[in-house]
Homo-oligomer: A and B are copies of this chain.
Amino acid sequence: MFYTIDILGTIAFAISGVLVAINKKMDLFGILIIGFVTAVGGGTLRDLLIGNTPVSWMKDITFTYVIIASAVFAILFRSKINYLRTSLFLFDTIGIGLYTLVGIEKGLNAGLHPIICIALGTMTASFGGVIRDILCNEIPVIFRKEIYATACILGGITYFLLSKLPIDNNIVFIIAGIVVIVVRLLAVKFKIALPTVYKD
């Protein structure tokens, strides 16, 4: 099941990258690359920082196929993709729930401190979008107005709090993932954003 979620998340992330690249008037190669880095960038950064090389997407060709197919689909149906907006948003949200926890698990396997593990989880879920925005010459959107990382952090904290209780690890995993998803959904529904700080 986790593998299916991973694929759905990859599709959503890749399509989000493709749509940004089209808006930036990139050529086909640029569109494909932006789709790719949006989908795998977070996991790649995580793997590099903990020394898990070759990085994950290089070891399972499925992700490359899924991203290329998603990019082709998004290019062909770019004018109709609005109808899929809700599905894509759901895939994306479920994806960040999973990616946060995958990042945490990889950090635990590397013997790292819980706070570092949460940072790795958040990175896995959100830095694909950061790299996408840098390549598109924008200040990353999650640094400005998205409740996205906050959802990941709260999910990560839930994971570590629950894992101190006598609960099966799979259930802890699922509850923490649901926390990420619910926080994200509520934040979008009620337009909650982190405050910015102005110099007085």
Contact = CB atoms under 8 A, between A and B. Distances in A.
Contacts of A31: 197
A196 interface: yes
A29 B79 contact: no
Contact of A33 (B135, B143, B198): B143
Contacts of A23: 199
Nearest to A114: B61
Contacts of A135: 130, 134, 139-140, 143
Nearest to A22: B197
Contacts of A140: 30, 135
A110 B54 CA distance: 8
Interface string A171-191: 000000000000000000000
Tallying the copies of this chain within the complex gives: 3
Interface stretch (A8-16, A42-50, A89-97, A161-169): A42-50
Interface string A27-43: 11111011000000000
Interface residues of A, number: 56
Contact of A29 (B44, B112, B134, B143): B143
Contact of A144 (B25, B53, B134, B143): B25
B195 A28 contact: yes
29 contacts: A22-B199, A24-B139, A25-B196, A26-B144, A27-B144, A27-B195, A28-B195, A28-B197, A29-B142, A29-B143, A29-B149, A30-B140, A30-B143, A30-B144, A31-B197, A33-B143, A44-B49, A49-B55, A49-B58, A50-B53, A51-B53, A58-B112, A61-B116, A64-B115, A64-B119, A78-B199, A130-B135, A135-B140, A137-B137
Interface of A: 21-31, 33-34, 44, 48-51, 53-55, 58-59, 61, 64, 75, 78-79, 110, 112-113, 115-116, 119, 130, 134-140, 142-145, 149-150, 193-200
